[in-house]
Structure formats: structure tokens, C-alpha cells
Amino acid sequence: MTLVGDGVWHGRIWTGAWTDGGGGAYDVVEPATGDTIASAGLATPADVATAAETAQRAQRSWAALPFGERASVLRRAGDLLAANAGEIKEWLARESGAIQPFGDFQVHTSAAECYEASALPSHPYGELLRSGLPRLSFARRIPAGVVGVIAPFNVPTILAIRAVAPALALGNAVILKPDPRTAVSGGVVFARIFEEAGLPAGVLQVLPGAADVGAALVTEPAVRVIAFTGSTRAGRLVGELAGKHLKRAHLELGGNSALIVMPDVDVSAATSVGAWGTFAHSGQICMATSRHLVHRDIAEEYTAQLAERVSKLPVGDPFRDQVALGPLIDAAQRDRVHGLVSSSVAGGATLRTGGTYDNLFYRPTVLGDVPVSAPAYAEEIFGPVAPVTPFSSIDEVVELATRTDYGLSLGILTRDVYAGLELAERIPSGLVHINDQTVNDEAVAPFGGVGASGTGSRHGGPQANIEAFTETQWVTLRGDLPVYPF
């Protein structure tokens, strides 16, 4: 099976069938080379209205199917993702700059999301309630209806399917808006997978589009739930718009995640952990290790070893070469990263390695002695930059770690794991990893941040997914009509 072939999808969008996008076709560009590698259909706000009408009709019959039939579609989708891993990884490398191991992880996790979601249709979906009246009283979870999913460019398969799969499994229809830069690996792939898996036409719609399409998805009356993954800036706008239209918005946003390194660790091992947390996928991960808070007793040794370790990492085209880091997504992101590095060095940080680029290939960069006033400390970088800031005491590192609006992920490296757990209790964070870096994700675990990182755990695990994509309905049942005073 070939998922994406000439003539199947070029210049088209998926609205229950392959149709022309109202915005015409646009070029999908490979960041590593600047070459056009695809032509995709661009949706418009009018396409959202059409898709929503189709989705509403299709959702009713989809939700009415026996739960085993919905489960089977999700299982087949997982099997198809695994069977077509090679092709999907190629698109991930070419569209998003993912190296092969990171592509492997995305496909494996995406398949796992489908397998986990396949258990949701048979999961208990209600509870019996006490009542002071002679009646049967219970609460049940019913599909929300049509769910809008807005997914980003950086990890396009996982960050789409983790909402798409459970929403479908629970009886909803889904309109997916992938980032236009990753329209194939974040959108077309899923249209083809679910088409082949036997999902009825119209239940999943894929509409690559710009911000106006996202806004139309949020305001569309037929769409009752929005699952958004992206920047905090955009997430605030989505949340505000959703609130105005009285619909739920599950927001998974940015991060400025800290890795706390205590003085009792093996420094060499710690730098390996820290390097992966920052430089995996060139730092273009929301939960990337963005701040290395290292005890002053080992800060210089840690910084030197980290710089030496990452200075040897090869950077290049992940589709054609064996590399550790691929390109940044586009020139705007590269320039933003370089601006943060340059201004932080001007503000007192020391450049220990990196700080240079060739086209979109940014060298892994380590900044030492980074002051809290430096932009690389205060802002989400979303690039291959490791700022190291020393601390002297537990109270100081707690203050440093919490000096941010974000609260997505936290890593603590220490031989005293119970002390690490106590430390974690003092730092608001949606995710905590003792003796690991900040980039962790599993389909079975709830995922989400606090503060400027989002609205809490809205994905992962049956309870979070059921709460995210269903409504609670209270039902009572009497055997006879009651008698009222009038």
C-alpha cells in the first residue's frame, strides 16, 4: 500500500472525499533543501462550514454503530500506521526535519494512540446515582458531536492523532486542521489511513489552512470541542474565541521547562540526559529542556562537558544523511532562535559552543552562566539551545524553576529520588520526571501543562480522553407517571 501517491492528493483536501480546496493549491517545501516536495489543497473558512455540515450528518450514524465496529476501525488504523512506517518517516524527515529515530518514535506512538483509543468504545461510560425519589438515576457520557483538532508542525503525527484517535473512538466526527507546512505527515497520512481502515466517509475531514481556517473552526456552531496544540500566544486567542462561543477548548501550549541537576549526580551521565532533552528534534518540542539549572558545585564541569558533547553532533539533511539534528522549520524560526542567542550573549551569557547556522541548519548551542534576565532564560526558545544557570540552594532553585509563566514539564537529576520528589512538589508542572529529562510522552499517560502551558491534562489515558471528548448527561427513569400538585 502506498499512502500518498501522485494524483491521489495533489492539490486536494479531504472532506469525506478528495475535493479541491477553496484556497487552491500551495507548495509544501522541504526545509533541508528548499525544494517543493508536494502540492496540497489549501482550505478556506467556507470549507470549514461545508465540512462541519457533512461531519454532523456522518457523526450520528458513526456514534450509533456497535462499539466493537468503532474499535475495529481504530485497531486497523494502528496496524496501517505500523505497516506504512517507512513511508511516513520519509515524509516526517522531509516536511518537518525529523531524524530517523525521531520518526520511528512518532510512528510508534501514533500507532499506540490508535490501539489505546480502540479500547475506549468498550470502556464503562457512566455510573448509577442515588436519588431521593422512586426512580432510576444515572449519568452517562455521550459523544460531544463534532471535534475540531488544530495541530502544529513540530511533531505533526503524534500531536494530531492523540486527539483524533480518542475523539473518533468515542463516537465523534473530527475536523483536523494540520499546519500547512506539514500537511502530508500531519493530515493527508491520517485521511488515507482512516479511509483504508474503513472509517465511514465524512467522519474525519482534513483541512490544511492558515489562521483564518483555525478561527472558523473555533467559531463554527457545529464544532463543540476544540483540541489545540501550539504556541501560548495562539492558544490564548483560541481560548478567548472558544469562550466567547461557549465551547470547550483543550489547550496544550508552550513551555520553558527546567532540568534541575543536583550536585550528587554523575556529571557525564547528566550531560547526556540534558543533551537529549534540549537537542532532540533540534529543540522544536514543546516540553524540550529549555533551562538547565545546575548546582554551582558542578555547574562549570557540567557546562564544559555538555558543550563538548554536543559540539560533535552532526547537523544536516535527515532524509539523505545520518545526522543528529535536522533543519529548523523555516527562516523565521531560525532568526528568532539566533536573536535569542545573540541578545542573551550581549546580556551576560557566555557562548560555549554553537551560535552559528548555515541556511536552516542551526548548530547545537550551549550558553553558560545565563542570567535570569537573559531572553534565552525567560522565553521559550524552540530551537537547539541549552542555557545553563547555576544555583546554590534548594530554595534558590525552587525560585528559579518557578520564575516562569509556563508549567509544562520538569526534570530532576539526583541520587536521592525521594528528595527529588519533595522538590517537585514545590514547583508547579503538569509533568515531572525524576532522573530523566523533560521530553517524555506515552499514549497511556495523561499529558498537559499548567499556567501558560495550557489547561491541564486533556490527552492520554482513558479518563482524560473520555472527559475531553464526551459530554455528561444525567438520565432518570420512572416506571409510572408522578403526581404533581398542579
Report how far residue 397's alpha carbon sits from residue 367's, in angstroms, rounded to the nearest whole number.
18
The CB density around residue 78, as the number of other CB atoms within 10 Å, is 23
Q: Considering only CA atoms, which of 415, 383, 412, 364 is closest in space to residue 259? A: 412
Inter-residue contact 164 to 116 (CB < 8 Å): no
Report how far residue 18's alpha carbon sits from residue 372's, in angstroms, rounded to the nearest whole number.
51
Q: What is the pLDDT of residue 110?
A: 97
Cell of 417: 529520588
pLDDT, tens digit, for every residue of 156-195?
999 999 999 999 999 999 999 999 999 999 999 999 999 9
Report how far residue 392's alpha carbon sits from residue 219's, in angstroms, rounded to the nearest whole number.
50
Residue owning grid cell 508552550: 254
Report how far residue 411's alpha carbon sits from residue 439's, in angstroms, rounded to the nearest whole number.
9
Report how far residue 174's alpha carbon sits from residue 167's, in angstroms, rounded to the nearest whole number.
7
Bridge partner list, 477? 136
Cell of 27: 507548495
pLDDT (tens, 9 = 90+) of the chain, 486 residues, equals 566 654 334 456 767 777 777 888 899 999 999 999 988 899 999 999 999 999 999 999 999 999 999 999 999 999 999 999 999 999 999 999 999 999 999 999 999 999 999 999 999 999 999 999 999 999 999 999 999 999 999 999 999 999 999 999 999 999 999 999 999 999 999 999 999 999 999 999 999 999 999 999 999 999 999 999 999 999 999 999 999 999 999 999 999 999 999 999 999 999 999 999 999 999 999 999 999 999 999 999 999 999 999 999 999 999 999 999 999 999 999 999 999 999 999 999 999 999 999 999 999 999 999 999 999 999 999 999 999 999 999 999 999 999 999 999 999 999 999 999 999 999 999 999 999 999 999 999 989 999 999 987 778 889 999 999 999 999 999 999 999 999
Catalytic residues: 252, 286
The Cβ-side half-sphere exposure at 345, using a 13 Å CA radius, reads: 17
The Cβ-side half-sphere exposure at 25, using a 13 Å CA radius, reads: 14
Amino acid letter at 203? V
Inter-residue contact 287 to 408 (CB < 8 Å): yes
pTM given for the model: 0.95
pLDDT, tens digit, for every residue of 263-314?
999 999 999 999 999 999 999 999 999 999 999 999 999 999 999 999 999 9
Dihedral sign of CA atoms 49, 54, 56, 57 in order: positive
* DSSP string for 316-381: S-TTTS--SB---S-HHHHHHHHHHHHHHHHTT-EEEE---EETTEEPPEEEES--TTSHHHHS--
Q: What is the pLDDT of residue 9?
A: 47
Report how far residue 476's alpha carbon sits from residue 456's, in angstroms, rounded to the nearest whole number.
32
Inter-residue contact 379 to 340 (CB < 8 Å): yes
Amino acid letter at 98? A
The CB density around residue 130, as the number of other CB atoms within 10 Å, is 5
Cell of 105: 518514535
Q: What is the pLDDT of residue 355?
A: 97
Q: Considering only CA atoms, which of 305, 293, 257, 308 is closest in space to residue 431? A: 257
